[in-house]
């Protein structure tokens, strides 16, 4: 299974202090990667670094906002000087604002686009410089069901994640010649802090998602580990510009009536 080994590889996971980012970082660590975790919250980063170290993963952490081009450039340079080249970048850091388009402030819309779409653009370019020199690299953008589908209240998030799907394809097009593979993961509905507000028992949306997901459950963050290791490893060297949906089957179906099992 050496094909999936990440030994001697360094993986950066933005926003890797909790939720899906932490689950993917754990998968990368289990496959042998050294971890570099970024966050904007020192307390969250400190706690996450303790967690990763307790699992035996060599891990370092850096505090900066992926939308701040100057800070991002300074930190990527510092990381590559202090820790070493970034072989794998997981653009996971993201926010969501759930509000109807007619009610949402434009600055809130812009902030979601900035974090969820411009941030991955900034980070991809920064790490790609070294990847181009080394003629090797893996960039994995964390997309969403909203890269393909809309729903009430998430116009900014859907616009960003739809754009992130196409950014993935475009960077794959431009950078394949340098042996850089740029792909995405589209998580379905997962049990995380980000979805906690819409997962509470009795919330109609909770029942809707369980019924809309052929697998009949919310995703467990660990369900993402295999896909992120695949896209970070030699096993995916001829995969480029693809979004792998880990969604329990949601995108395969129009769904079924609530009374149909
Ligand atoms: C929502 C959810 C979704 C999921 C995920 C689906 O409000 O609909 O938060 O956005 O988090 O992105 O792929």
The pLDDT tens digits for 180-209 are 999 999 999 999 998 999 998 888 999 999
Residues in the chain with pLDDT values less than 50: none
pLDDT attached to residue 260: 84
Q: Which two tokens stand for residue 98?
A: 């759930």
- What are the backbone dihedrals phi and psi of residue 143, each rounded to the nearest 5 degrees, phi first? -90, -140
- Nearest atom in ligand 1 to the alpha carbon of residue 144 is 13
- Give catalytic residue positions: 157
Predicted pLDDT at 172 = 99
Residue nearest ligand 1's atom 3 by CA = 189
* Closest listed residue to residue 215, CA positions, set 185, 247, 243: 247
Report the predicted TM-score, pTM, of the whole model to 2 decimal places. Answer: 0.98
Atom of ligand 1 nearest to the CA of 189: 6
Which residue in the block uniquely carries the two structure tokens 């434009």? 106
Instruction: Walk me through the domains of the chain, giving residue ranges and CATH numbers.
Output: 2-252 (3.40.50.720)
Q: How far is CA 190 from CA 101, 145, 244, in A?
A: 24, 11, 15
Which residue puts its alpha carbon closest to atom 4 of ligand 1? Answer: 189
Cβ atoms of residues 141 and 184 within 8 Å? yes
The model's pLDDT over 210-252, given as tens digits with 9 standing for 90+, comes to 999 999 999 999 999 999 999 999 999 999 999 999 999 999 9
Q: Environment class of residue 261 by beta-carbon count within 10 Å: exposed (0-12), middle (13-18) or buried (19+)?
A: exposed
Kindly give, in sequence order, each residue whose CB lies less than 8 Å from that of residue 218, ignoring residues fewer than 6 positions away: 189, 190, 191, 195, 199, 209, 210
Structure tokens belonging to residue 13: 């996971």
Tell me the angle at which helices 155-175 and 119-134 cross, rounded to the nearest 10 degrees.
20
């Amino acid at each position: 299974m050496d094909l999936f080994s990440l030994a001697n590889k360094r993986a950066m996971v933005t926003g890797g202090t909790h939720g899906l980012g932490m689950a993917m970082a754990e998968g990368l660590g289990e496959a042998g990667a050294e971890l570099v975790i970024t966050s904007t919250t020192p307390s969250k980063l400190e706690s996450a670094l303790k967690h990763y170290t307790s699992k035996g993963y060599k891990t370092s952490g850096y505090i900066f906002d992926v939308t701040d081009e100057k800070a991002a450039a300074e930190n990527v340079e510092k990381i590559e000087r202090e820790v070493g080249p970034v072989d794998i970048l997981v653009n996971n850091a993201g926010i969501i604002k759930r509000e109807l388009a007619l009610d949402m402030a434009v600055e809130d819309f812009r902030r979601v686009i900035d974090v969820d779409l411009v941030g991955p653009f900034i980070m991809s370019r920064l790490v790609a410089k070294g990847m181009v020199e080394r003629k090797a690299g893996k960039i994995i953008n964390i997309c969403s069901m909203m890269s393909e589908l809309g729903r009430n209240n998430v116009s900014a998030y859907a616009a960003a994640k739809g754009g992130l799907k196409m950014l993935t394809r475009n960077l794959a097009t431009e950078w394949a010649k340098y042996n850089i593979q740029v792909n995405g993961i589209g998580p379905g509905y997962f049990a995380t802090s980000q979805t906690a507000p819409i997962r509470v028992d009795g919330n109609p949306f909770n029942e809707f998602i369980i019924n809309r997901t052929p697998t009949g459950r919310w995703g467990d963050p660990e369900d993402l580990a295999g896909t992120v290791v695949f896209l970070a490893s030699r096993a995916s060297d001829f995969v480029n510009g693809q979004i792998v949906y880990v969604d329990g089957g949601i995108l395969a179906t129009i769904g079924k009536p609530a009374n149909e099992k």
